[in-house]
Amino acid sequence: MPDLQTVALWGPTSSGKTAFLSQLYFQHSDEWNVFPTQDSLAFLEIVRPFTEKNSFPKATAVGTIQRVAYTFQNKKTGREFALVVEDRPGEESEVLSDEGKKRFNDALGLVLLFDAEKDLRLLERQIEQTLAKLNVAADRGPKKDDRPFAICLSKADLRIRSADDLQRAVERPREFVLEKISRDIVLWVDKFCSNYEFFPVSSIGVRLRHGVIEPIVFYDEALGLRMGSGGQPINLLRPFAWLFDRINAPGK
């Protein structure tokens, strides 16, 4: 197993962290194999209904920490890397305790996961406060954080309404995200970070049939959210592949 590279995952309440992490393992990729480790087995058992019953995993309870560690192997090149994150409640990302700030500042790269349907002003404040707290805790002052930040627009399927939208989300992810978020979010990220990229992601995806986009999520007779068939997740692995390319770049 390769040396573990620690990546931290930030996301406010209902940003989709648990579903995102579960689908990384349960969905098959043409490019990557994803293998569990001992640390991730308990987490995978908790979220298994997500695939077996087409239901969504429950939000991570306050005070709960699920350590998730995967080994990734590129099917073509054989290249391997490891991912270790801790799935924590969204409230902890929003509040950021001293321990949380240390954990994020010790990571080699960060994934910021935010909800496509979130009120943009609230989201701006959450991102600004998080980056400012990390800056102060690390005593960086005016110096930008040069670690790689993968900034992900989660639940991107809710913003994909046409085949052209889907194509742009996959082929021009930065352009797609910048059209959906406010300029202030970009300015706050650029103020504190020097190495970042934007990705639209969806753990469930959409279904494209006869050139028409069809939603996958629906309500069952008990008004519970369910996931239909035929959808392909969008850009699940790309943020991590991008992060590890930069973490392992020459000179790092």
Cβ-based neighbours of 242, under 8 Å, separated by 6 or more:
148, 150, 197, 199
What is the Cα–Cα distance from 34 to 175, expressed in whole angstroms?
28
Instruction: State pLDDT tens for residues 148-207.
Output: 999 999 989 888 889 999 999 999 999 999 998 889 999 999 999 999 999 999 988 888
Residue 212 lies in a domain: no
In 3D space, the residue among 116, 114, 124 whose CA is nearest the CA of residue 183 turns out to be 124
Q: What per-residue confidence (pLDDT) applies to 57?
A: 58
Determine which helix (DSSP H) or strand (DSSP E) holds 68, and give its type and residue range: strand 66-74
The structure tokens listed for 204 are 């469930």
Q: Is residue 214 part of a domain?
A: no
Spatial CA neighbour of 155 closest among 58, 86, 235: 235
DSSP label at 194? S
Q: Is residue 195 part of a domain?
A: yes
- Please, are residues 71 and 37 in contact by the beta-carbon 8 Å criterion? yes
- Domain-embedded: residue 230: no
* Residue 119 CB partners (closer than 8 Å, separation 6+): none
pLDDT for the residue numbered 64: 60
Tell me the angle at which helices 183-192 and 120-137 cross, rounded to the nearest 10 degrees: 10
What is the per-residue pLDDT for 86? 65
* Helices assigned H by DSSP within 27-162: 38-47, 49-52, 90-95, 98-106, 120-137
**226 near 217, Cβ under 8 Å?**
yes
CATH number at residue 124: 3.40.50.300
Flag whether 196 is in a domain. Answer: yes
Residue at 219 is within a domain:
no
Calpha distance 4→189 (Å, rounded): 27
Phi, psi of 146 (to 5 degrees): -95, 5
HSE-CB for 189 with a 13 A CA cutoff: 22
Low-confidence ranges of the chain (pLDDT < 50): 1-2
pLDDT of 140:
95
208: in domain: no
State which residues form the domain around 70: 7-203+235-247
Residues 6 or more apart in contact with residue 184 via CB below 8 angstroms: 124
Number of domains in the chain: 1
Beta bridge partners of 6: 84
Q: How far apart are CA 23 and CA 48, in angstroms?
A: 10
Of 210, 10, 43, the residue nearest 123 (C-alpha): 10
Asked whether residue 223 is assigned to any structural domain, the reply reads no
DSSP label at 52? H
Would you state the pLDDT for residue 53? 64
